[in-house]
Chains A and B, each alone.
Chain A
Amino acid sequence: MKSIFLAFLSVSLIVFIVAEVNARGRGGGGHHARSHARSNVNSGHHGNRGQVNRNNVNRHGNVNINSNRDVNVNVNNRGYHHGCCYHDNYHPLAVAAAVTATAIVVGSMVNSLPPSCQTVIVSGFAYQQCGNTWYQPQMSGSSTTYIVVNAP
């Protein structure tokens, strides 16, 4: 009887330990926004556009270009300045990892610029020139993003 009880106890302990380890292992890593609350009751005359999720950030396919990055959530860091560049959307969840030196394809969209960019005005519009890469700032529903463009 005693040996059955001890066996049961050890099995429970093992199960508990395994569960704990698994739980912890799952916890770490990035925190990505998967949706936002809808902020309008009335969605306009094209109400049934098939857009079930009225999340501005995920409305377009090409916004998630950086979605595989680990985003460091530092909840206390609400400062306006991150490194070189001001962000329209400096929210911690949207802080981008530095753009690496790998080739940046024209048409890619990023949330923030690499270091050492210069503002250049072409035909009245501001561009950011960062080394050999040109970015066109664009204002969207929730933030300002940058599209890689050919030199204007």
Chain B
Amino acid sequence: MNKVPRIVVALLATLFVTTTFAQPDEPAVDPATMAALEKMGGYLRSLKAFRVKVVTTNDTVLEDGQKIQYEGNIDLLAKPPNGLRIHTNNDRHERLFLFDGKTFTLWGQRMDYYATVDAPDTIGKLADMLEEKHGIDLPGVDLFRWGTPEADTTGMISAMDVGSAVIQGTTCQHYVFRQEDIDWQIWIQKGDYPLPRKVVITTRTDDALPQHTAEYQWDLAPSFNDAAFTFNLPKGVLRVVLEDNLSSDDASE
């Protein structure tokens, strides 16, 4: 057996030590930022009932790469785990989403159509069902996924705290994140109510980098009763079906 020259051993050892124990100045995914996100999620999950009004903008990208921005409004009332009432109003449509733990109803208010389907017993499961079975994104769905295993932080490329900022007159801490398909930013209210006050999501899967923005106004003591989550069929509104992803045949239910 050849005797390995000592100098080679020494060099290898040095390499091993420097690579194993090398400390980068800052980790790409800042633990304090991830902790702040988890704290916000935990707080959201602790709320017994809330009403949040959201002003959104959303970019559509044309074939030639131009972006067109649309504004929208969401008025969301939630009594987790099984009460949800969401009114959305934007250039494309005006809709009411109702869920009471048993049934989900979607009323297209400019068309006077509604659809109603059996629903699972929690908001989280409803959101999954709507996404998977009907291709419908529940407005504000992130508010129900943060603080649960459904909040996907695997594949986080970077996360950092970029400092304080004032949103709608309230001091927030501003964090930015990079994931594979999106960059996103969140402004979390400082103090006893770590709520999201603003979110910006940049979609990286299109070169035009379209954005979605949302600013939130919170009411943590909304007044309502359970009738808020039930659909009272208005006169002249007709029943139709929801688009069905899973069936290959004409969906008749």
Residues of chain A at the chain B interface (Cβ within 8 Å): 30-47, 52-54, 56, 59-60, 78, 80, 86-91, 93-94, 106-107, 119, 121, 124-126, 136-145, 147, 149-150, 152
Contact = CB atoms under 8 A, between A and B. Distances in A.
Given A38-B201, A40-B142, A42-B142, A140 B60 contact: no
12 contacts: A37-B58, A41-B145, A46-B128, A47-B152, A52-B205, A54-B203, A56-B136, A88-B92, A90-B110, A107-B250, A144-B108, A150-B250
Interface string B201-214: 11101101011101
Contact of B113 (A124, A144, A152): A144
Contacts of B201: 37-41
Contacts of A44: 127-128, 131-132, 141, 145, 150
A88 B203 contact: no
B239 A126 contact: yes
A136 B56 contact: no
Contacts of B243: 60, 138-141, 145
B206 A34 contact: yes
A71 to B, nearest CB: 10
B146 interface: yes
A136 B115 CA distance: 12
Interface residues of B, number: 61
Nearest to A80: B110
Given A34-B61, A45-B149, A140-B135, A88 B113 contact: yes
A121 B113 CA distance: 12
Main secondary structure of the interface of A (DSSP, over half): loop
Interface string B105-136: 01010111101000000000001100110111
A140 B61 CA distance: 20
A39 B250 contact: no
B135 A41 contact: no
Nearest to B146: A42
B75 interface: no
B181 interface: yes
> Which one of B70, B206, B214, B251 has the greatest number of beta carbons of chain A within 10 Å?
B206
B182 A41 contact: yes
A133 to B, nearest CB: 14
B93 interface: yes
Given A34-B63, A91-B92, A139 B145 contact: no
Closest 5 CB pairs of A and B: A37-B210, A126-B238, A42-B145, A140-B243, A37-B212
A138 B205 contact: no
Interface in B37-65: 56, 58-64
A80 B109 CA distance: 12
Contact of B61 (A33, A52, A136, A152): A33
B110 A32 contact: no
B199 interface: yes
Nearest to B136: A141
